[in-house]
Chain A
């Protein structure tokens, strides 16, 4: 590892340890157990990768597989934490939840199919394959979070500050991952693709500095965004995690059945009048 890689890795590890301490002492597992697991998985993954780098060297196959395995495990557990955010506080609104979970589940299936199709067509190289999967899963995470928040905003059901900070952190790291992975993937599958072809072995010494430069740059951006995200989460956890919100008092079902069609009918009539206004 060069000094930059060592510095980034150790800084990220320190941030992850601080986050896990906050998660544990604030008893986040009582309110958001899957997010707590996500925080622990990040720490375990990073530690494993660090140990692998120390044992086998950063350029070894074992380290490459350990890194991408950790990245994809993080993405999978992050998806669970997002699912938990979707469910949190919304499940008590039974009518809305019945609609929202179906929409989000349908959207998730569509996005996962897209992820699978996109990854399927990639060259059989772990870095490019992993990068594509990670990028598409990150994009899917942003889309799901945005749709969830649109639903909540539409029905006037706000997220608690802690959940907001978690969503903001996940959104930030996913956005950086999507943009960074997209650019890096384009470069690696473009003019640097010779790096993966044994038939082009003669070019490898010339390509090595460029590959190293790209890796360093991307690692720096990714890890700084990651540490910033940890900062957002730690700041949100400076206070104890709030108790789970109480269930709302729901209205009798008859009120919706009676009023909703009447409201819609009137809104439709209103639109009809606007259309009439616009007729020449």
Chain B
């Protein structure tokens, strides 16, 4: 591609990004950003999908799989495994949502903080990018049947522990934000 093509491509890519970011979304205006941030902290569900973990673990257990393969007709077993993988994919999608909420919590806290660490922010950005790539790879392997379903157990356990701690932290922050906002309104 010559320099004219490159220049036009760069201009189109950045204009596309600009347009995409300028298309109105559900976000509120900048004037309401402060209160929406404070509300968002309280409203962020950290791990709603984790709540379904016991049922999912049962459905994806290795023992269940073995039982199916040993006792059910091959066609029924294959169908059941396909459906279980679909369930696992949806669950993985839910875990992605949980992860995104936790990362968003980090960003909201950063936005509302009077000082932030460049290193921390860069690290979180890199972690989020890395997560997206890894998530896509896990999704792909799960879809192609190359990932043992039981391994998801480790992942869900981690999110659950994280969610418990973050729920506690968010309750504290939410209380603090509401208190500060009320103080500002009363002043």
A274 to B81, CA, bound (A): 22
The contact sample of 16 A-B pairs, CB cut-off 8 A, is: A139-B7, A142-B14, A149-B21, A153-B21, A156-B104, A171-B18, A182-B7, A182-B11, A242-B31, A250-B113, A251-B176, A260-B124, A267-B99, A271-B131, A271-B134, A277-B138
Residues A247 and B34 in contact, CB atoms below 8 Å apart: yes
A179 to B4, CA, bound (A): 9
A158 to B103, CA, bound (A): 18
Listed stretches A22-30, A92-100, A206-214; interface member: A92-100
- On chain A, the residues within 8 Å of B118 by CB distance are 99
Give the 3 A-B CB pairs with smallest separation, nearest first.
A248-B34, A256-B113, A95-B116
Closest to A251 in B: B112
Q: Which of B30, B131, B137 is within 8 Å of A278, CB to CB?
A: B137
- On chain A, the residues within 8 Å of B30 by CB distance are 89, 157-160, 163, 245
Q: Mark B153-176, 1 if CB is under 8 A from A, else 0.
A: 011001100100110010001001
A251 to B10, CA, bound (A): 39
The B contact surface, by secondary structure, is helix
Interface: A164 (CB within 8 A): yes
Given A175-B15, A182-B8, do A250 and B134 touch, yes or no (CB 8 Å)? no
A93 to B154, CA, bound (A): 38
Given A94-B115, A268-B127, do A146 and B21 touch, yes or no (CB 8 Å)? yes
Q: Which of B105, B158, B165, B180 is within 8 Å of A270, CB to CB?
A: B158
Given A89-B30, A158-B27, do A251 and B113 touch, yes or no (CB 8 Å)? yes
Chain B 28-67 residues near chain A, CB threshold 8 A? 28-31, 33-34, 36-38, 40
Q: Which of A93, A167, A278 is within 8 Å of B138, CB to CB?
A: A278
Interface: B17 (CB within 8 A): yes
Given A156-B27, A247-B34, A251-B113, do A267 and B17 touch, yes or no (CB 8 Å)? no
Interface: A109 (CB within 8 A): no
Residues A263 and B106 in contact, CB atoms below 8 Å apart: yes
CB distance from A87 to the nearest CB of B (A): 12
Closest to A242 in B: B31
- On chain A, the residues within 8 Å of B121 by CB distance are 99
- On chain B, the residues within 8 Å of A3 by CB distance are none
- On chain B, the residues within 8 Å of A153 by CB distance are 21
Q: Which of B33, B115, B135 is within 8 Å of A95, CB to CB?
A: B115
Interface: A266 (CB within 8 A): yes
A146 to B18, CA, bound (A): 5
A156 to B28, CA, bound (A): 9
Residues B8 and A245 in contact, CB atoms below 8 Å apart: no
- On chain A, the residues within 8 Å of B134 by CB distance are 271, 274-275, 278
- On chain B, the residues within 8 Å of A255 by CB distance are 109, 113, 173, 176
CB distance from A150 to the nearest CB of B (A): 7
Interface: B117 (CB within 8 A): yes
Q: Mark A12-39, 1 if CB is under 8 A from B, else 0.
A: 0000000000000000000000000000
- On chain A, the residues within 8 Å of B173 by CB distance are 251, 255, 259
- On chain B, the residues within 8 Å of A160 by CB distance are 29-31
CB distance from A248 to the nearest CB of B (A): 3
Residues A149 and B22 in contact, CB atoms below 8 Å apart: yes
CB distance from B130 to the nearest CB of A (A): 5
Q: Which of A155, A248, A276 is within 8 Å of B110, CB to CB?
A: A155
- On chain A, the residues within 8 Å of B28 by CB distance are 158
Interface: A83 (CB within 8 A): no
Q: Which of B12, B22, B102 is within 8 Å of A266, CB to CB?
A: B102
Residues B111 and A93 in contact, CB atoms below 8 Å apart: yes
Interface: A115 (CB within 8 A): no
Residues A270 and B131 in contact, CB atoms below 8 Å apart: yes
Q: Which of B14, B147, B159, B181 is within 8 Å of A143, CB to CB?
A: B14
Interface: A186 (CB within 8 A): yes
Residues B154 and A266 in contact, CB atoms below 8 Å apart: no
Closest to B179 in A: A249
Residues B127 and A256 in contact, CB atoms below 8 Å apart: no
Residues B176 and A146 in contact, CB atoms below 8 Å apart: no
Residues B99 and A270 in contact, CB atoms below 8 Å apart: yes
A252 to B31, CA, bound (A): 21
A185 to B146, CA, bound (A): 53
A262 to B173, CA, bound (A): 15
Residues A156 and B37 in contact, CB atoms below 8 Å apart: yes
